[in-house]
Amino acid sequence: MKTGRYNVGVGLLVMAGFMAYGLILIYLRDFAPNKDAWVASYSIGRHFEARLAHVHGNLFALLNLALGFVLVRLSQASDRARTVAASLGLAGLLMPVGILGELYLGLSPVFVLLGAASMTTSVVLTGVLSLKHWTDGAVTPQAL
């Protein structure tokens, strides 16, 4: 498996999506007809949840980029361990998507918790693998 490739690609696409969502939030804050009501609820309710999703979506997208690039460097680690770390990083995206699901669809917060736990586990596992298997050699194109 080309471990890390999907983390980088999906991370970039998710980042683009949450950047676009940020533009929507800017519109709602500055240009929408009911912008005064939106601004008044800045730190509570739906506005807070929307900002929380935007921030965590971009953070978790960046974490996936970092995980992808680090996992490529860990060629000495087992493919299974790297695949688990990469998959957990992608599953971590359930957190910001789960926040949006709660906000707009009334979904259960279980997706937020699963995403947070997955991303945390992925970062811990990748950290342990890095301490054990980091190589300073050049990364080959085949690793990507």
Q: Would you say 136 and 75 are in contact if contact means Cβ atoms under 8 Å apart? A: no
Tokens matching residue 73: 């460097």
pTM listed for this prediction: 0.88
Q: Just give the CATH number of 5-138.
A: 1.20.120
Q: Per-residue pLDDT tens for 11-30? A: 999 999 999 999 999 998 88
How many whole angstroms separate alpha carbon 124 and alpha carbon 46?
Answer: 32
Residues with Cβ within 8 Å of residue 27, at least 6 apart in sequence? none
Express each pLDDT in 96-109 by its tens digit.
999 999 999 999 99
Better-scored residue on pLDDT, 40 or 48: 48
